[in-house]
Amino acid sequence: MIQIPKGCKDVLPSQVYAWHKLEDTARSVAQAYAFKEIRTPVFEHTELFARGVGDTTDIVNKEMYTFLDKGGRSVTLRPEGTAGVARAFLEHGLAGGVLPFKAYYLISAFRYERPQAGRLREFHQFGCELYGAAGAAADAEIISLADTFLKKLGLKEVALQINSIGCKHCRARYHEALKAYFAPHIGEMCGDCRSRFEKNPMRILDCKEEGCKAIAAGAPRMLEYLCDDCRAHFESVKNLLSKAGVGFTVNPSIVRGLDYYSRTVFEFVSAAAGAQGTVLGGGRYDTLLEQMDGKSVPAVGFAAGMERLLMVMEAENCMPPADMGAACYLAGMDAPSREKAFLLAEELRREGISCEVDLMERSVKSQFKYADKTGARFVAVLGERELAEGAAQVKDMRASSSECVKFEELANYIQRRL
Ligand code: HAM
């Protein structure tokens, strides 16, 4: 028996209603902020992620699903959504169009990670990207959108943490300070961190190894090295968030696992989302588009992990009620009434009423059992007498009452009572 690949999950019809709540909420909140959906390919040229996500990140170094296609080109299943959106934005010349450009996406993404609770190899993201606005209001709008989304899901125990990692100017000074701090400890750090020390010492702050974490705990904080512009930007973001009623704490250790960020970075964390705890992360990335195309376009965005959100929804009792069965089950007693049930169901479906008829050649008793098990709201029973009278016995499964309803009035009868 061939089984599902490690780190992937099936969503069965009995579970999909929770996904619908996530997706419907994402779409309606994105629309409230006037973001429009964008769809980009599941795979891209490997080079896009190597350059876009950054070659000092774990994603690019260890976690990408990269392969050669039949034409010998190296392609990669997207490990996240931002790089593809940025590519599409530039490729279609949207930088010269109406700005700000505001787009959202609901995608599957792929990372070759060690699977555990809340960490999968195929996972799903709801993401938003905003291009063209450099001011703090754009950061605040993106963070507020994320906050509204989580609140609309009913989540209360998810905490927003924000930080600023400065711009390339103030970060250069910070890197020097980090190097000076880590240099005496280099022998105690993991192999990855030793190479991070050379390439991007800030990445050490994101290491999951206990030894490195302990050393990083005493490292200098970026906030102390911010230049005046970055400090003023961060103050404005905090001010807007506070006034908008978006609660947050400043966590100076947030650096994010991708290379493209500058200035504001943020994460929404919950104890119920597995070892990592981050259900949503994002930030400003003013240099990514320039690195890709030479055009300087400021940008800010986030992505939420859908599987982690489901874990938190479960823990916080925010799961929606399971989908009901059909609005009406039409049971037939004999061959002519089964045929009539089939045709009546077709008519009702055209009116937008969800209906089921027996496809298993079951007895009336078993048809009733099926209707009950699947949660049908009404059961309309048809037999010889009903056909002669042109009316069905309609049982309301919730009220346990029964009424005789003319075939031509059936649609109306059900619609009024749903
Ligand atoms: P990220 O922090 O790598 O950021 O991922 C965003 C969210 O995706 C995480 O907070 C987590 O909830 C979820 N996630 C990541 N990896 C996994 C996994 N292996 N299994 C399950 N869930 C996972 C980004 O992807 C950026 N593109 C976000 C962004 C958009 N920044 C700016 N714009």
What is the pLDDT at residue 107? 98
Q: Above pLDDT 70, what percent of the chain?
A: 100
What is the pLDDT at residue 322? 87
Q: Which helix (H) or strand (E) holds 71?
A: none
pLDDT-based confidence at residue 207 (cuts at 50, 70, 90): confident
Q: For residue 380, with 0-12 CB atoms within 10 Å meaning exposed, 13-18 middle and 19 or more buried, which class applies?
A: buried
The helix, strand and coil proportions of the chain, stated in percent and rounded to the nearest 5, come to 45, 20, 35
82 lines ligand 1 (CB under 6 A): yes
Is 282 within 8 Å of 146 (Cβ atoms)? Answer: yes
280 C-alpha vs ligand 1 centroid, how far in Å? 7
Is 205 within 8 Å of 219 (Cβ atoms)? Answer: yes
Mean pLDDT computed over 15-36: 97
Is 327 within 8 Å of 353 (Cβ atoms)? Answer: yes
Least confident of 25-34, 211-220, 226-235, 249-258: 249-258
Is 322 within 8 Å of 14 (Cβ atoms)? Answer: yes
**What distances in angstroms separate CA 112 from CA 67, 76, 103, 120, 310, one per listed residue?**
13, 11, 27, 8, 21
What is the pLDDT at residue 400? 86
Query: Is the pLDDT reported for residue 324 higher than 90?
Result: no
* Rounded Cα–Cα distance for residues 386 and 161 (Å): 65
270 lines ligand 1 (CB under 6 A): no
Place of tokens 């991708």: 258
57 lines ligand 1 (CB under 6 A): no
What is the pLDDT at residue 387? 97
129 lines ligand 1 (CB under 6 A): yes
Query: Is the pLDDT reported for residue 70 higher than 90?
Result: yes
Q: Which atom belonging to ligand 1 lies closest to the Cα atom of 53?
A: 27
The answer to whether the bond into 100 is cis (omega within 30° of 0) is yes
Is 57 within 8 Å of 259 (Cβ atoms)? Answer: yes
* Rounded Cα–Cα distance for residues 417 and 129 (Å): 43
Residue nearest to atom 23 of ligand 1 (CA): 305
Residue 234 tokens read as: 């961060």
In a mutational test of the pocket of ligand 1, which residue from 53, 80, 149, 289 has the highest number of ligand atoms less than 8 Å from its CB? 80
Residue 392 tokens read as: 């069905």
211 C-alpha vs ligand 1 centroid, how far in Å? 25
230 C-alpha vs ligand 1 centroid, how far in Å? 25
Q: Which helix (H) or strand (E) holds 125?
A: strand 122-131
What is the pLDDT at residue 295? 82
Q: For the chain, what is the mean pLDDT?
A: 95
Mean pLDDT computed over 81-87: 96
In a mutational test of the pocket of ligand 1, which residue from 63, 123, 276 has the highest number of ligand atoms less than 8 Å from its CB? 123
Based on DSSP, count helices (H) and strands (E) in the chain, helices before strands: 15, 16
Kindly report the number of other CB atoms within 10 A of residue 178's CB atom.
23
pLDDT-based confidence at residue 256 (cuts at 50, 70, 90): confident
Is 204 within 8 Å of 182 (Cβ atoms)? Answer: yes
Tens of pLDDT, residue by residue over 360-384, are 999 999 999 999 999 999 999 999 9
Residue nearest to atom 22 of ligand 1 (CA): 305
* Rounded Cα–Cα distance for residues 217 and 182 (Å): 11
Residue nearest to atom 25 of ligand 1 (CA): 80
Task: List the one residue out of 95, 168, 167, 164 whose CA is nearest residue 132.
Answer: 95
Kindly report the number of other CB atoms within 10 A of residue 136's CB atom.
22
Residue 415: φ, ψ to 5°:
-55, -40
Query: Pairing mode, if any, of strands 299-305 and 122-131?
Result: antiparallel
Residue 78 tokens read as: 């997207």
Q: For residue 382, with 0-12 CB atoms within 10 Å meaning exposed, 13-18 middle and 19 or more buried, which class applies?
A: buried
52 lines ligand 1 (CB under 6 A): no
pLDDT-based confidence at residue 200 (cuts at 50, 70, 90): confident
What is residue 407's DSSP assignment?
G
Tens of pLDDT, residue by residue over 272-313, are 877 768 999 999 999 999 988 878 999 999 999 999 999 999
Tens of pLDDT, residue by residue over 85-131, are 999 999 999 999 999 999 999 999 999 999 999 999 999 999 999 99
Q: Above pLDDT 90, what percent of the chain?
A: 85
Query: Is the pLDDT reported for residue 389 higher than 80?
Result: yes
Q: Which residues does 48 contact at the CB level (< 8 Å), separation at least 6?
A: 76, 83, 84, 87, 292
Residue 303 tokens read as: 């992505």
Q: What is the crossing angle of helices 306-315 and 16-32, to 10°?
A: 110
Residue 283 tokens read as: 């930030």
Is 138 within 8 Å of 102 (Cβ atoms)? Answer: no
pLDDT-based confidence at residue 253 (cuts at 50, 70, 90): confident
Mean pLDDT computed over 239-265: 92
Mean pLDDT computed over 162-166: 96
Task: List the one residue out of 232, 409, 397 whose CA is nearest residue 324.
Answer: 397
Mean pLDDT computed over 120-145: 98
Q: Which atom belonging to ligand 1 lies closest to the Cα atom of 125?
A: 8
127 C-alpha vs ligand 1 centroid, how far in Å? 9
